[in-house]
Chain A
Amino acid sequence: MTLDSQATVSAEIAAIAADAEAAGFETVPQPQLAYPPYRSSVLRSPTRDPKHADPETIELWAPAFGHRDVDPLEADLTIGHAGEPIGERITITGRVTDGEGRPVRHQLVEIWQANAGGRYVHKRDQHPAPLDPNFTGAGRCLTDGDGNYRFQTIKPGPYPWRNHHNAWRPAHVHFSLFGHAFTQRLVTQMYFPGDPLFALDPIYQSITDPKAREALVATYDHDVTTHEWATGYRWDIVLTGASRTWIESVDAAGEDH
Chain B
Amino acid sequence: MTTTPLTPTPGQTVGPFFHYGLPYDGDRDLVLPGSAGSIRLSGTVYDGAGAPIPDALVEIWQAAPDGTVPQEHGSLRRDGWTFTGFGRASTGRDGSYSFSTLEPGATEEGRPAFFAVTVFARGLLNRLFTRAYLPGPAIESDPFLSLLSDAERATLLATPTEHGFEFDVHLQGDSETVFLHHG
Contact = CB atoms under 8 A, between A and B. Distances in A.
A58 B62 contact: yes
Given A45-B125, A52-B181, A125 B17 contact: yes
A174 B21 contact: yes
A99 B5 contact: yes
A189 B123 contact: no
Contact of A206 (B53, B85, B125): B125
Given A46-B172, A69-B73, A124-B17, A188 B8 contact: no
B36 interface: no
B56 to A, nearest CB: 9
Contacts of A54: 144, 182
A129 to B, nearest CB: 13
Contacts, number: 239
A166 to B, nearest CB: 18
B41 interface: no
B12 A122 contact: no
**In which size bucket is the chain B interface?**
35 or more
Interface residues of A, number: 80
A239 B21 contact: no
A68 B183 CA distance: 33
B9 A215 contact: yes
Contact of B123 (A38, A204, A211): A38
Contact of B74 (A33, A48, A69, A110): A69
Main secondary structure, interface of B, reads: loop
Given A43-B49, A63-B85, A112-B20, A183 B72 contact: no
A136 interface: yes
Interface in A165-184: 174, 176, 182-183
Contacts of A46: 128, 171-172, 176-177, 179
A239 B8 contact: yes
A86 interface: no
B65 interface: no
A30 B72 contact: no
Interface in B96-115: 104, 107-108, 111, 114
B9 A239 contact: yes
B123 A40 contact: yes
A145 B171 CA distance: 38
Interface of A: 28-33, 35, 38, 40-48, 50-59, 61-70, 97, 99-101, 108, 110-112, 114, 120-122, 124-125, 136-138, 140, 174, 176, 182-183, 185-189, 203-204, 206-207, 211-213, 215-216, 237-242, 255
5 contacts: A29-B10, A31-B126, A112-B21, A138-B20, A239-B9
Given A50-B180, A240-B6, A241-B182, 6 more contacts: A46-B179, A51-B180, A63-B70, A112-B17, A189-B13, A204-B12
- Please give me the 5 A-B residue pairs with the lowest Cβ-Cβ distance, nearest first: A112-B21, A40-B123, A66-B73, A63-B86, A57-B107
